[in-house]
Every structure is written in C-alpha cells, then in structure tokens.
Structure 1
Amino acid sequence: MGANGSSEIQVSFNRPNLFYFAGEQIAGNISFQNTENKLELDAIFLECVGELGYSTQEVRHRRDANGNQQTEHYTKYHQVPFLKSRVSIVQPEYGQREIILYRGQYSWPFQFVLPNQLPPSLIPSTTTYPYVKYYARIVLDKPWYKPNAKQVYPLTIFPRVDLRYIPGGQQQVSFSNENRKKIRLQGYLMRGGI
C-alpha cells in the first residue's frame, strides 16, 4: 500500500502488540519507499480514530396489491466516531502548496497522547456488532482529483483503573502454601488487583 501500487508504507509502533492504556503515549516511525520519480502530496498525517458500532432492528408493515399485510424486518447498522485526532507528519514548506517527494526512502517519527477517558476496546468474537474499536491510519493526502492513500492499524485500548475507587478493591486476600520440606510461604494480595 502506498501512493500507488509500487510505493510502500511501513509503520513501527513503540508496542508491537498495539495494546495501550488510555492516557498513554503512542509513538513510532513511518517509513515510506517512493518508487515514483516525483510524487506530489498535499500532506501526510496520522489519524487516531475511535468508533462505536451498533445495530437496531426495525419492523415495517405494508400491504401488497391484494390487500394482504406483509411484515418486513430490517437491521440498520450504525457507526459513530467519537474520537478523531490528527497528527501532522509532513506539511508543505513555507510558501509551497504541495509536498514533493522524489524517488527514495523517507522516514518520519510520530508521537501523540491518547485521551485519559476512553472506553475500552470491545470487539465481539461472534458478530460484528456492537463494537468499540480504535485504529491509527496513515494518510497520504493527494490533490482533490486523486484518491488518498491510507493504511490502517487496529489498536486495542484499555482504560486505566484506579483500585482505590473500586468497592472492595482495597480488601486483602491472604494466601499460604507449604512444601514438603515444611517451608511456608504466606502473603497478601489486594482483591481488586487479582
């Protein structure tokens, strides 16, 4: 994927599994191999998108030509973006309208901080709805008459949990174990931390 069939974008993130907590910094590096002699772009940016998906059921009644009532069931699918933050990677230089990239290898670092209050990723195992999903996408923004090139990376986001505010989270759970040589191990764990 890239600006055309022969260009390639690769992104390395600071976490290979793309799992992050809300409020954490996501950082990485974008590598772009341009195989065209001259590539003109309006901008290169990274977007972090959070999206909620859900479905609703609708029943419609109608009468056919004979006057018989027919019932039709419809499922509507909804996608609601609730987070869209854009990080500029490359912009045109002062006084220029476009970015010009000549044949070769390019590399740009990026970093941004996730908002503190985000719902956790929810990706169901059997159906596609409902869901809460996050993804980062790299966009090569081309002039209006050409399609933009995009590459998408799914992220898993989990909220930070403060055990001090969870009822029962501060309760201790004791444990003990003794081996054959009569060595005894005793300890306590916080219930909310198990």
Structure 2
Amino acid sequence: MGLGSSVTLNVNYDRATNLYYAGEKVTGWAAVNNSSKTLKFKSICLQFIGEIDYRQSDFYEYYDGVSQPFHGYHVVRNRKSFINIRCPIVHPTENEDLIKLHHGQHSWPFEFRLPQLLPPSSSPTNVSHPCIRYYTRILVNKSWRQRDLMQMYPLIIFPNVNIFPHEIRRQPLPQSCAHRESLHMNVSLQHRAILTSQPLSLHIDLDNPERLRINKFLLKFIQHRVIYTDHHKESLLEKDLLGLLDFSQTHLNQTFHLQLPFAHLSPTFNCKIKRWASLISTSVYYEIKLEAKIDGILDNIDISMPIIIGTESSAEQDDQSADIPISYSDAMTELELPPDYQSAMRKLALE
C-alpha cells in the first residue's frame, strides 16, 4: 500500500486467511519498496495491536457564575489499545546512526506468537462499536526531522473456546415454554453449544386444540456484544421456518435445522481487560429467539434461549496456566469461561 510518492509499505502473512487463534505463531514478510534514490531511517518494526472501541456516558455539570448550574450526560467514545507487541525487523549497526535503504524492493521475515488469552475480534462487524479489533502495523521510524511512515493490516483473532465440556454435562438442554389459554408451545435446542460449521437444531412441540392460525414462525439468531456499559444487541440472522406459514393444525412435533452462514463468527467469551489501574469487562454471547405470529392476537409468543458458540470440540483440556510466550504487561487478566445455561438465562431475563 502506498505512502507518499516514493515509498510503499506492505505486509504479507504466510497463510491465505488473516484469521488466527490465541497462542498461534504469526509469520510473514514485511516489505518496503523505495522508488527514490536513498531512504534513511532509524529502524523498521512490526507492531501487533489490539484495541477496544466503546461508548460511555459521562456526567457533566456547568455553572457560569450567574444562572443556576445545570448538569446532564454526554456520550464519549473511547478507543483504547490494550496490547502492543513490537517485533523489531531492521536496526542500524553499532557504528551507524541511520540505515540507508537504496532504490528497489526490500523484504524481511517476521514472526511473533500470540498470547494464550485474548478476547475475540468482533465479527461480523456491522457496527463500529462496541468493538474489539486487532491489526499489525509496519512502522518505518525516520529521523526526527521527518514524519514516520506506517500502515495497518487487519487481523481476526479468536480465543480457543472448547464446547466439549458443555456437551457432556448431564443437564437439561436449553428449552422454554409459552402458554396461552388455547395454545401451548415447548421449544428446545438439540445442543447447548455448537461450532459455526454445525447446524443449529431446534425442536418445536406445539399443542393448538382450537386451531388458532399462526401466520409464521420467525427464528432469530442474536449476538450480544458488551464492553463496559456499551451493549449492542443485533439480529444476525432472521428466517421463517419452512412449511409453517399460516399453520392451523392441532399438533406440531418437528425438529428444524439451520446452518449459520458466517465465515467468521466471534465465539462466546467473557473476560476483563486490565488497562492501567482499571478493569474493563467485555463479553460476547448469543441467544436464539422464536417468534410465533398469531393471527388476530396482538400479544404474540416470543421464546428466547441462550446458545454457546465455540471454536473447537476436544476432550483434551487446555492448560490455561501455561506460560505466555510474550510478556505484554498485564494486558489481560481474570479469564472467565462461557456462561452456563442458568446464568445465561438470568442475563437474558434482565434485559
């Protein structure tokens, strides 16, 4: 990517995708194309940066010395980095203050290992905040009289969220019931936790003795993203269940399967990011919502259930206390596991 008329910076990763998982090694090549005669600089380094972007309501009070003081709240946008790993690429020798880069294409390999515990990138990113994003940045540190050159390249980072422990727990599967005077509906999920490659399976058991007409059953897959007090709730997928338009039968006992059409989907995750002396809580969680639109009745049936999205299913338990290969100065602390079904239901009930 070009920066100015004479210098082009570029970063190429050694894999076809920019998706990496916590604990993995990131390798690639950093390149500088110098179309001028000679470029003088102090150093070239690659930075791995993670940042949070969220809104916060701050209280303010104003008094002009004449009228009555007034106060209120205004929304402040916060964009803060919580991790910055520097990977030196080129430095001058002991006998030189500056490096001279002659005309032409120059490239150097780089590698660094991601920490074992990182919150997930916000994906999909249909809104700007609250958001967690990662990127690498190539930085050409020029002399003090000249402006440094830099360029950013996005990365998608996911933690390793193992759904196997949730699948082997001997607990009732997530389910919910709804009653009307002449209608009873029970909805349950076949799996409390799934991978994005697995179908979402939903079972409906409906008793409709008076043959009320249900115009449609609308299934919603909803993502919740929370950073500090900034909470964004978004319906990522809405779909009418096939074969159930204008349903008026007395009974329904059927399982429906739905594939999630997302290349990258943030896994369920809760953690607290330590930045300076404060802890900033972040979380990603999901719910399945089924809406039954009943003909002639304003109060439709809405049923919500939590579901966990993971990245792997393995009987081998990861050692979360393993040494982190790169120190990054208290960037992360107090890891929490994805919520169980009961706590997730309590969270949904409060919203």
What range is the shorter-chain TM-score in?
0.7 to 0.9
1:97 shift after superposition: 1.2
Residue aligning to 1:155: 155
Residue aligning to 2:39: 39
The separation in 2 between residues aligned to 1:192 and 1:79, in whole angstroms, is 32
Residue aligning to 1:92: 92
1:129 shift after superposition: 1.8
The separation in 1 between residues aligned to 2:103 and 2:114, in whole angstroms, is 34
The separation in 2 between residues aligned to 1:190 and 1:14, in whole angstroms, is 35
**What per-residue deviation string (whole Å, max 9, x for no partner) do you get for residues 146-183 of structure 1?**
1110010011100112334x322578xxxxxxxxxxxx
1:10 shift after superposition: 2.2
Alignment gaps of 5+ in structure 1: 172-188
SS in structure 2 opposite 1:168? helix
The size of the alignment, in residue pairs, is: 176
Residue aligning to 2:135: 135
Residue aligning to 2:187: none
Aligned 8 A contact 2:166 2:193 in 1: no
**What per-residue deviation string (whole Å, max 9, x for no partner) do you get for residues 116-139 of structure 1?**
110100256443221111000000
What is the one-letter code of the residue matched to 1:129?
H
Residue aligning to 1:53: 53
**What per-residue deviation string (whole Å, max 9, x for no partner) do you get for residues 98-133 of structure 1?**
111011111111111111110100256443221111
The separation in 2 between residues aligned to 1:142 and 1:100, in whole angstroms, is 11
1:64 shift after superposition: 6.8
Residue aligning to 2:30: 30
Label 1:116 to 1:169 Cα distance change in 2 as closer, same or farther (>3 A).
Answer: farther
**What per-residue deviation string (whole Å, max 9, x for no partner) do you get for residues 60-80 of structure 1?**
344678836655542112222
Q: TM-score, normalised by structure 2?
A: 0.45
Q: Percent identity?
A: 31
Label 1:169 to 1:55 Cα distance change in 2 as closer, same or farther (>3 A).
Answer: farther
What is the one-letter code of the residue matched to 1:57?
S
Aligned 8 A contact 1:64 1:70 in 2: no
**What per-residue deviation string (whole Å, max 9, x for no partner) do you get for residues 12-39 of structure 1?**
1123331111111111112221112111
1:191 shift after superposition: 6.1
SS in structure 1 opposite 2:106? strand
Residue aligning to 1:182: none
Residue aligning to 2:166: 167
What is the one-letter code of the residue matched to 1:158?
F
The separation in 2 between residues aligned to 1:53 and 1:106, in whole angstroms, is 35
The separation in 2 between residues aligned to 1:169 and 1:88, in whole angstroms, is 45
Label 1:96 to 1:76 Cα distance change in 2 as closer, same or farther (>3 A).
Answer: same
Q: TM-score, normalised by structure 1?
A: 0.78
Label 1:170 to 1:46 Cα distance change in 2 as closer, same or farther (>3 A).
Answer: farther
Aligned 8 A contact 1:163 1:170 in 2: no
Task: Compute the RMSD of aligned alpha carbons.
Answer: 2.7
Aligned 8 A contact 2:163 2:193 in 1: no
What is the one-letter code of the residue matched to 1:45?
C
Larger deviation: 62-71 or 87-96?
Answer: 62-71
The separation in 2 between residues aligned to 1:71 and 1:11, in whole angstroms, is 49
Alignment gaps of 5+ in structure 2: 171-190, 199-351
